A and B are shown apart, each in its own frame.
Chain A
């Protein structure tokens, strides 16, 4: 007898997932952003952490984020199957069973929270557990399908990593950690609404109440501008704290001017103009938004290096 004997008459054996398929469940691209922001939160904290503990902290924060991604893929498999952007994810593509995604998500959630607690402190572990709960239950199961504010409130889940990185070192939340959280929290809505503008049919077809579906595109454009303007004081504020300095403030001023100009251009356009150039401005704004967040957090690291050379900081 052979373990593939039953399938030998069939044209194709049923898919049995490879290791890479399980890695895809963890949303590696989202994880890369989590790793970067958590690392910055950890490095800019006022006290140090042993490199091994620091490495473990980043690894388990990333693993926790990956676990919540797997839980999201388990719950949202029906939506993912309809949307072009997500059709190739392992569950809708039939590479991994939904139950397996649930098991991976729950298992890794437990491991990441316990190990982060053992490697650093209980406060960081509690924050990671809350982040996973927030993304999987509050955002995926509740808000995503029920309110056009889904992205606004759900964005909190993606904003926690730098705060967890900071708490892993210090053991408590401070103004700097809160403002790093607020920076990502306020950045998330314009970032995703720009995506929703040019992935126009996806959310509609899936029945997800994105702002573009419930309030129309004109309102979405106005919301992008409003949230981008609200983001400015947060970005400038964090540059004024102990993790900022003249360099960070200069970077924040340039980045926010760039971002506000982009949002203003989106607000001035209508669908006819957007269709004419195939959403070039919206797509450019989306790309700038990725760069915006990366450069903001990179600026904190540069400021840290300048400080250690006796040049940066307030």
Chain B
């Protein structure tokens, strides 16, 4: 079995696929880093964990 020599078209296609792959990988890393930053800082969010949460309940007036 013989391999056909690589056409110039394949090189261009490879550069495109590689570029897109690296871009997507960088995007995933960035979204992960953003998520970590926002979660650690405790930006407004409400997790659902099957337990009663006191925050949504109306606050009782202390006076």
Q: Which residues of A contact B (CB under 8 A)?
A: 2-4, 7, 13, 16-20, 22-23, 50, 52-53, 55-56, 59, 118-119
Does B30 touch A at the CB level, under 8 Å?
yes
Establish whether residues A16 and B37, one from each chain, have CB atoms under 8 Å apart when the complex forms.
Answer: no
- The 15 listed contacts between A and B (C-beta, < 8 Å) are A4-B10, A7-B9, A16-B13, A17-B16, A18-B15, A19-B15, A19-B16, A19-B19, A22-B16, A50-B37, A50-B41, A52-B37, A53-B37, A56-B34, A59-B30
Does more than half of chain A's interface fall in helix, strand or loop, or is it mixed?
Answer: helix
Nearest-Cβ distance from residue A121 to partner chain B, whole angstroms: 11
In whole angstroms, what is the CA distance A52 to B9 when docked? 38
User: What's the nearest-Cβ distance from chain B to residue A304, in Å?
Assistant: 23
B7 on the A face (CB < 8 A): yes
Which residues of the partner chain A approach B16 to less than 8 Å between Cβ atoms?
Answer: 17-19, 22
Do B4 and A2 touch across chains, with their CB atoms under 8 A apart?
yes
A172 to B4, CA, bound (A): 60
Query: Measured between alpha carbons, how far is A53 from B40 in the docked complex, in Å?
Result: 13
Option from A13, A20, A119 in Cβ contact (under 8 Å) with B15? A20
Interface contact A13-B18, CB-CB below 8 Å: no
* Range class of the B interface residue count: 10 to 19
Contact A119 B18 (CB under 8 A): no
Contact B30 A118 (CB under 8 A): no
Question: B49 at interface (Cβ–Cβ under 8 A)?
Answer: no
Can you list the 6 inter-chain pairs with the closest CB atoms, starting with the nearest?
A19-B19, A18-B12, A18-B15, A19-B16, A52-B37, A52-B33
A17 with B12: CB separation less than 8 A: yes
| B interface residues, Cβ below 8 angstroms from A | 4, 7-10, 12-13, 15-16, 18-20, 30, 33-34, 36-37, 41
Residues of B within 8 A of A50 (CB): 37, 41
Identify B12's interface contact among A2, A3, A16, A23, CB under 8 A.
Answer: A16
Chain A residues closer than 8 Å to B19, beta-carbon distance: 19-20, 22-23
Query: Are the C-beta atoms of A53 and B7 separated by less than 8 Å?
Result: no
Q: Which residues of B contact A118 (CB under 8 A)?
A: 34
Instruction: Other than A18-B15, A53-B37, A56-B30, give 20 A-B pairs with Cβ distance below 8 A.
Output: A2-B4, A4-B7, A4-B9, A7-B9, A13-B7, A13-B9, A16-B9, A16-B12, A17-B12, A17-B16, A19-B15, A19-B18, A19-B19, A19-B20, A20-B15, A22-B16, A23-B19, A50-B41, A52-B33, A52-B37
